[in-house]
C-alpha cells in the first residue's frame, strides 16, 4: 500500500485529473493470471514505455511510448468502472515511468482498488492498494519501494535467480508474499522452482495462468 503524500490538494478538482493522458498499449477486462490474486477478475491497463528491457520480456511491444494511443483518465476509468471489475491492475511496460496519481485517483474515485505490476525501478507515485514488485537486475528497484511492497514476484530462469530472489526478499517487510515465477520460455526453470519451494516453503509459485486459460 502506498499513498503519495501532499499531492492530493493539487488535484482536488476532478477536472484536474480526469483529463490527464497516458500512453496506453492496451486495456482489457480479464482474469489476473499472476501472483497472489491469480484467478480474480480485474481490469488491466497496460501503459506504454519501459526502460528496463528484460531480454525475455513477454510484451516487448510495450517498450516504446510512440505508436501507442494517449488515453485520458476519464476514458480509462469509464472502461474500468463499466467492466464491473473490483480492482484495476496498472501494468506495462513500466508503469512507474508515469506519474500515476491522476490515474489512481480517477480509478479510486470510481470505487476500484488499484494494484500495480512493477519492476520498482522508478519512483513510486499515486495511491496504490497492492504493489507487486518484480525486481530486475537490468535496472534495479529503488530503495523506497521495499517499504511498501505487498508481493515480491521474481522471474526465474536459472539457479542464480534464486539468490537474486533472496537478496530482494531480505529487503521486504515481514509478511510480504514471496513468489517465484518460471520464465515462460524456460521449461527447466519449473524444476528449479519446484525443488527450491519444497526446501524453502516460505516461497510460493506464481504461474502465468492466463496463458493456460488463453485469456489476455
Ligand X SMILES: Nc1nc2[nH]cc(C(=O)O)c2c(=O)[nH]1
Q: Are the CB atoms for 180 and 166 separated by under 8 Å?
A: no
Q: What, of ligand SAM, ligand SF4, ligand X, none, does residue 53 touch, CB below 5 to 8 Å by kind?
A: ligand SF4
Q: Which residues bind ligand X (CB under 6 A)?
A: 30-34, 59, 91, 117, 210, 215-216
Taking CB under 6 A as the criterion, which residues in 105-124 touch ligand SF4? 119
Nearest to 88 by CA among 107, 110, 102: 107
Distance CA 3, CA 19 (A): 21
Size of the site for ligand SF4 (CB under 6 A): 12
State yes or no: residue 93 binds ligand SF4 (CB under 6 A).
yes
Q: Among 19, 51, 58, 147, which residue interacts with ligand SAM (rule: CB under 6 A)?
A: 58
- Least distance to ligand SAM from the beta carbon of 192, Å? 13
CB 141 within 8 A of CB 121: yes
Interacting residues with ligand SAM between 197 and 216 (CB under 6 A)? 208
HSE of 157 in the Cβ direction (CA atoms, 13 Å)?
7
Sequence-distant (6+) residues with CB within 8 A of 17 are 11, 73, 101, 102, 103, 105, 106
Question: Do residues 87 and 11 touch, judged by C-beta distance below 8 A?
Answer: no
Q: Which of 41, 54, 157, 205 touches ligand SF4 (CB under 6 A)?
A: 54
| 48 near ligand SF4, judged by CB under 6 A | no
- Biggest alpha carbon–alpha carbon distance for the chain: 53
Residue with Cβ nearer ligand SF4 (30 or 109): 30
Contact 81, 112 (CB under 8 A): yes
Q: In the complex, which residues of this chain contact ligand SAM (CB under 6 A)?
A: 50, 56-59, 91-92, 94, 117-119, 134, 153, 155, 181, 183-184, 208
**Residue ranges binding ligand SF4 (CB under 6 A):** 50, 52-54, 57, 59, 62, 92-94, 119, 136
Amino acid at each position: 500500500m502506498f499513498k503519495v503524500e501532499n499531492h492530493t490538494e493539487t488535484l482536488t478538482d476532478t477536472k484536474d485529473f480526469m483529463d490527464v493522458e497516458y500512453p496506453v498499449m492496451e486495456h482489457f477486462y480479464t482474469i489476473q493470471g499472476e501472483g497472489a490474486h491469480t484467478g480474480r477478475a480485474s481490469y488491466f491497463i497496460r501503459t506504454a514505455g519501459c526502460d528496463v528491457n528484460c531480454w525475455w520480456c513477454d510484451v516487448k511491444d510495450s517498450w516504446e511510448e510512440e505508436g501507442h494511443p494517449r488515453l485520458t483518465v476519464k476514458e480509462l476509468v469509464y472502461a474500468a468502472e463499466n467492466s464491473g471489475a473490483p480492482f484495476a491492475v496498472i501494468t506495462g511496460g513500466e508503469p512507474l515511468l508515469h506519474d500515476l496519481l491522476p490515474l489512481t485517483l480517477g480509478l479510486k474515485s470510481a470505487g476500484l482498488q488499484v494494484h500495480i505490476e512493477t519492476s520498482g525501478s522508478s519512483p513510486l507515485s499515486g495511491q496504490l492498494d497492492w504493489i507487486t514488485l518484480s525486481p530486475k537486475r537490468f535496472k534495479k528497484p529503488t530503495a523506497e519501494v521495499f517499504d511498501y511492497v505487498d508481493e515480491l514476484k521474481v522471474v526465474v530462469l536459472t539457479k542464480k535467480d534464486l539468490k537474486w530472489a533472496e537478496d530482494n526478499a531480505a529487503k521486504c517487510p515481514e509478511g510480504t508474499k514471496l513468489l517465484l515465477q518460471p520464465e515462460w520460455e524456460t521449461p527447466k526453470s519449473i524444476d528449479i522452482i519446484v525443488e527450491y519451494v519444497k526446501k524453502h516453503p516460505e516461497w510460493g509459485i506464481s504461474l502465468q495462468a492466463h496463458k493456460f486459460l488463453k485469456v489476455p
